Homo-oligomer: A and B are copies of this chain.
């Protein structure tokens, strides 16, 4: 099994050198006092230790044991999960990035993202238990009454309770407009919730004393479709007056799904049999309320792609240095051994560098989004909050879909580096593949993200959100034109950046005649956007490295490796965008011409 080592140097590179997080924190009044560099270093060191020592060793246990549902509907999590969670709560980790008003430490949400990266890379399935609480906390924080905040939010922030998001039903996931779960008013102001929810991550478990379900349901007579959905808080145990968990509510785990991966996480079918719940937010505005923090949730899933790439890269790199096979084509590199370590072979290096480029580039993209999220939440002026929100909205579908797709690819490369051993469970590489596939699906599939990007974010703004971003890229390219080291990268980036706008224009024109052009082009458009966005970030990382080298540094090899990886990305990965560019312009006829009944004979 690959051993996890938190890549603190890499994390600091993105935080301090690429995104200047210290200045960013200093500029936000809510963070200026608490998020000091010393504090952050201490937290990261402590967090790294926790993830390396407590969570990574449970990664394979979780896969092997999975979760067990008992006859009474209770669920036992894998050996060690519960104890690790207790230490997590004891260490104060759940409250890290929450408001002090609710018992939080008031640290930046982006710092929480960094911690989530380390948690997720060491053990994604475990991380989903505290991770799912975020959705519940966001909902209550943004839309709950003071009483609801007092009763639920403080318990969630402390980690004593965990939360879930109950959206999906057997017949609907992406299309929540057709959901059937019902909510009927009780005399006491509460509601009786009835229906079946599926795919509920962390829906039932033994790690916390109570579970707070946020449930989408329909009120009697509610309008059809997405405009008739309301949000409810449905706790597993109804809170007593003193806030302790009381009477058991009629919400139970009906079964645990048998899944491809993330076995350590209890993915539950949840039955609501007239369970007691309370409306949160306005009637029939449930989906709107949820959309207010959709970006945050999706960035959390984008992170899974980056963490998967990092975890698989760490495993594959160690193996590639150790495993002997063949001699280098240019002659023996380890003549004292029976064969050379496979890292001498160009194609093994191509695979490792691809993983590395996605892991490090992915981190940069996720942190950039997290930085915007800080501003959206706590920025000083309306203007900067609005600008950050726009950029975040544009980056979110790209980060979510592109990083999960390439993160998944990276896990598959990890298996491939191991050869036959990659297929064997003990090595842990195939688990990463199985655990990661779901990231391309939940929180909106790649197809859904692509429609969000091209349809809602780009075309519905007449391209404004894209232009805001390509302008940034353009400015960077202009500024670095004369930079000898960066010139080749910058020239390439500028071309793609221009083409991005041209492609958008063409699809926009075609879509005016035929709406199917959007759906036909969307995934190619999204992947193109992802490759170019990552190219921008790699060019910026190259710039940081080049400046450090020019200014003199004791870490010469570190910065040189950054430059080399950037060059690799531009030469060996970015060209894939060319194929997407051609494919997205091929026209909707290419996919719509075949009648449904003629797909097979």
Instruction: Check if A259 is an interface residue, CB within 8 A of chain B.
Output: yes
Instruction: Check if A594 is an interface residue, CB within 8 A of chain B.
Output: yes
Q: In the complex, are the beta carbons of B326 and A174 less than 8 A apart?
A: yes
Q: In the complex, are the beta carbons of A258 and B522 less than 8 A apart?
A: no
Q: In the complex, are the beta carbons of A446 and B579 less than 8 A apart?
A: no
Q: In the complex, are the beta carbons of B596 and A568 less than 8 A apart?
A: no
CA A350 – CA B592 in complex, angstroms? 9
Q: In the complex, are the beta carbons of A173 and B420 less than 8 A apart?
A: yes
B-chain residues with CB within 8 Å of residue A140 when the two chains form the complex: none
CB 8 Å contact bits of A574-588 with B (1 = contact, 0 = none): 011111111100111
If A324-B171, A599-B352 touch, whether A591 touches B572 (CB-CB below 8 Å) is yes
Total contacting residues, chain A, CB less than 8 A: 109
Interface residue from B324, B347, B568, B596 paired with A522 (Cβ < 8 Å) = B347
Instruction: Check if A564 is an interface residue, CB within 8 A of chain B.
Output: yes
Binding stretch for chain B, among A149-157, A244-252, A431-439, A542-550: A431-439
Q: Which residue of B lies closest to A321 (CB)?
A: B596
Instruction: Check if A442 is an interface residue, CB within 8 A of chain B.
Output: yes
B-chain residues with CB within 8 Å of residue A599 when the two chains form the complex: 317, 343, 352, 356, 561
Instruction: Check if A345 is an interface residue, CB within 8 A of chain B.
Output: yes
CA A553 – CA B492 in complex, angstroms? 51
If A561-B601, A601-B10 touch, whether A582 touches B578 (CB-CB below 8 Å) is yes
Interface residue from B325, B441, B519 paired with A419 (Cβ < 8 Å) = B441
Instruction: Check if A560 is an interface residue, CB within 8 A of chain B.
Output: yes
> Which residues of A in the span 331-346 have a Cβ within 8 Å of any Cβ on B?
338-339, 341, 343-346
B-chain residues with CB within 8 Å of residue A514 when the two chains form the complex: 330
B-chain residues with CB within 8 Å of residue A171 when the two chains form the complex: 324
Interface residue from B7, B260, B352 paired with A433 (Cβ < 8 Å) = B260
Closest Cβ–Cβ distance, residue A294 to chain B (whole Å) = 17
Q: In the complex, are the beta carbons of B446 and A437 less than 8 A apart?
A: no
Binding stretch for chain B, among A26-34, A281-289, A375-383, A421-429: A421-429
Q: In the complex, are the beta carbons of A438 and B423 less than 8 A apart?
A: yes
CA A319 – CA B95 in complex, angstroms? 43
B-chain residues with CB within 8 Å of residue A412 when the two chains form the complex: 408, 437
Instruction: Check if A348 is an interface residue, CB within 8 A of chain B.
Output: yes
Closest Cβ–Cβ distance, residue A6 to chain B (whole Å) = 12
Instruction: Check if A450 is an interface residue, CB within 8 A of chain B.
Output: yes
If A7-B600, A423-B260 touch, whether A590 touches B565 (CB-CB below 8 Å) is no
Instruction: Check if A241 is an interface residue, CB within 8 A of chain B.
Output: no
Instruction: Check if A515 is an interface residue, CB within 8 A of chain B.
Output: yes
If A325-B175, A601-B10 touch, whether A416 touches B445 (CB-CB below 8 Å) is yes
Q: In the complex, are the beta carbons of B424 and A445 less than 8 A apart?
A: no
If A260-B425, A420-B199, A441-B416 touch, whether A587 touches B571 (CB-CB below 8 Å) is yes
CA A581 – CA B576 in complex, angstroms? 10
Instruction: Check if A160 is an interface residue, CB within 8 A of chain B.
Output: no
Q: In the complex, are the beta carbons of A516 and B591 less than 8 A apart?
A: no
Interface residue from B10, B314, B419, B424 paired with A257 (Cβ < 8 Å) = B424
Instruction: Check if A532 is an interface residue, CB within 8 A of chain B.
Output: no
Instruction: Check if A329 is an interface residue, CB within 8 A of chain B.
Output: yes
Q: In the complex, are the beta carbons of B447 and A437 less than 8 A apart?
A: no
B-chain residues with CB within 8 Å of residue A561 when the two chains form the complex: 594, 598-599, 601
Q: Which residue of B lies closest to A344 (CB)?
A: B596
Q: In the complex, are the beta carbons of A9 and B601 less than 8 A apart?
A: yes
Closest Cβ–Cβ distance, residue A442 to chain B (whole Å) = 7
Instruction: Check if A178 is an interface residue, CB within 8 A of chain B.
Output: yes
Closest Cβ–Cβ distance, residue A271 to chain B (whole Å) = 17
> Which residues of A in the span 343-391 have a Cβ within 8 Å of any Cβ on B?
343-350, 352-353, 356
CA A70 – CA B172 in complex, angstroms? 45
Instruction: Check if A523 is an interface residue, CB within 8 A of chain B.
Output: yes
Interface residue from B416, B565, B600 paired with A440 (Cβ < 8 Å) = B416
CA A582 – CA B441 in complex, angstroms? 31
Closest Cβ–Cβ distance, residue A78 to chain B (whole Å) = 16
Instruction: Check if A567 is an interface residue, CB within 8 A of chain B.
Output: yes
Q: In the complex, are the beta carbons of A173 and B520 less than 8 A apart?
A: no
Q: Give the one of A314, A451, A591, A596 with max B CB within 10 A.
A: A591
Q: In the complex, are the beta carbons of A516 and B558 less than 8 A apart?
A: no
Given contact pairs A347-B450, A350-B591, A571-B587, a sample of 10 additional A-B residue pairs in the complex whose CB atoms are under 8 Å apart: A168-B420, A178-B339, A199-B420, A329-B516, A329-B518, A330-B515, A558-B601, A575-B582, A576-B576, A576-B579
Interface residues of A (CB under 8 A from B): 7, 9-10, 168, 171-175, 177-178, 198-199, 257-261, 313-314, 317, 321, 324-326, 328-330, 338-339, 341, 343-350, 352-353, 356, 408, 412, 415-416, 419-420, 422-426, 430, 433-434, 437-438, 440-442, 445-447, 450-451, 514-516, 518-520, 522-523, 555, 557-558, 560-561, 564-565, 567-568, 571-573, 575-583, 586-588, 590-596, 598-601
A-B contacts, 15 listed (Cβ < 8 Å): A175-B339, A258-B424, A259-B424, A260-B415, A328-B516, A344-B596, A346-B518, A346-B520, A347-B447, A347-B519, A420-B438, A423-B438, A568-B591, A576-B576, A579-B579
The 6 closest A-B pairs by CB, nearest first: A346-B519, A575-B582, A571-B586, A260-B430, A175-B325, A576-B579
